Every structure is written in C-alpha cells, then in structure tokens.
Amino acid sequence: MSEAAHLLLAEGVGVAYGGCPVVTEAAFGLDAGRLVALVGPNGAGKTTLLRALGGLTPSTGRITVAGTDLLKLPPRERARRIAFLPQGHVVHWPLSARDVVALGRYPHGLADPARMGARDAAIVDAALARTDASAFAGRQVTTLSGGERARVMLARVLAVEAPILLADEPTAALDPRHQIGIMAALREEARRGALVIAVTHDLGLAARMADEVMVIDRGRIVARGAPRTVLTPQLMREVYGVDALVTEHAGEPVIVPWTAP
C-alpha cells in the first residue's frame, strides 16, 4: 500500500516539552478497520503521541489524515474525522448523560441536544447502548460513578462516528466485565471501518482484542505488529522490566506480568 493511502500517516513526528524530547521520530501508517493498542511504560509518551495525532498537542514532522495534512483541516472537519477520548473523564457540567453523548453530534451541526432530530437521536441512543450506559441516560453525569461516567464519555466519542477514534485508557476505571465490553465495542467500531487507537496498560486485553500493538518506550516506537509477535517475554523484560507469563488459552494469547526483578 502506498504511504498516501494510509488513513493516518505519521512522518518523523516529535514532541518536546521545554526543550526536552518526549516523542521522537514517530513514523507509521495506519489503516481503516484496525484496532491498534498503544502501549508502553508510564511516562513513555503514549498520551503525548495520541494528543499529537489528534492535533491537540503541537508536534514537529507531519501527520496526514487520508492524505490531507492534519494542520490544514478546519477545526470542525477535524472534529468530524478524529474523535478523541481523553484520560480521566472529568465532567463538571450538570448535563444528563444523554445530552453529554449528544455533544458528539456537535461536529455534525447539532448545537442543541433539546432539538435533536431522529437520526442524531438514533445515533446517540445506539452509542449509549454500545457502552452499556442506556440505563442511566437520563441521570446527571456529575452523579454517576467513575466507571459509569467513563462509559458515557466513550459513548460521546462513538456518537461522532468519526473514521478515526483515539481513546486514552478507555478501560482504566472499569470493572472486568465492562473492560471486556468496552474493548469489544472498540473492536466492533474497527470492524465497522474505523481506525481505533487505544492507549492501554491492560496488556492481556490488548493481546486478545487488538489487531495490532504499537509499543512506545522513552518516546520511541520500539515495536509494532500482531500482539503475539510483539508482546513476547523478551519485550516485556526489555520495555517494562518484568518477567511475564506469556501463554495461550482457548487459542488466544494470554499475558500476565508476573515478577518485577
């Protein structure tokens, strides 16, 4: 595939804070229909790279979306093409969960959730259902638990229906059932044709669910490829400094960090 054909192309992307490089020479092309897990140790540069890919953090080098320079996309067009789920899910607005999810339709011209048309309403309700959040759609988000709020915030980005979805630790606050459910929802989003990049520390879920794992260590992408080929005991030792159990169950990879010598 030619470089221009990639949905998201990074060429020599770098980010520095106060002259200190945090992401260095990131170069890759990613295609539609893939769930990519972006993994690496604390402070490796995952969030910084994700934010750069979304145009939220200034970077050097070049990022193109379907052949168009990210910086040349007008803000609303960029918001239609790239949905971004930040870490933390802090919301202070006294809005209902459904109205928060409706904000995902803002790049498509919906300014007031109270005047939502049938199509937008159907998209919002489907997004709530996909994150198992329909039961509290009418509740104020400020009253929800951390995990409930996390699912509402993910529903908001699903409602954008963007071809690229960037999610920073989407399973961080979730119980095991919802961790699996949300990763499955992200994989489903990829199967529908989106490129989904999810930052995660859950290597077990990444190994099972992601089409591809991209490993960043001290600002550099050090490995990329199918989970089985990338998440080896050797990589776990070199990048994370842990000895890991790497095995299989029911034909799927299993990875469990075991000891930190």
Q: Which chain residues interact with ligand ATP by CB under 6 A?
A: 17, 22, 40, 42-48
Q: How far is the CB of 90 from ligand ATP (least distance, A)?
A: 15
> Residue 228, Cα to own-chain centre: how many angstroms?
20
Question: Least distance to ligand ATP from the beta carbon of 161, Å?
Answer: 26
Q: Is 139 helix (H, G, I), strand (E, B) or coil?
A: coil
Which structure tokens are listed for 23? Answer: 């992401």
Q: Which is nearer to ligand ATP, 22 or 128 (CB)?
A: 22
Least gap, CB of 177 to ligand ATP (angstroms): 24
Q: How far apart are CA 198 and CA 200, in angstroms?
A: 6
Instruction: Note whether 170 and 150 are within 8 A (CB).
Output: yes
- Dist CA 255 CA 64 (whole Å): 34
CB of 42 or CB of 247, closer to ligand ATP:
42
Nearest alpha carbon to residue 142 among 101, 86, 91, 104: 91
* Nearest distance from C-beta of residue 46 to ligand ATP, angstroms: 4
Cβ closer to ligand ATP: 24 or 47?
47
Cβ-based nearer residue to ligand ATP, 48 or 171? 48
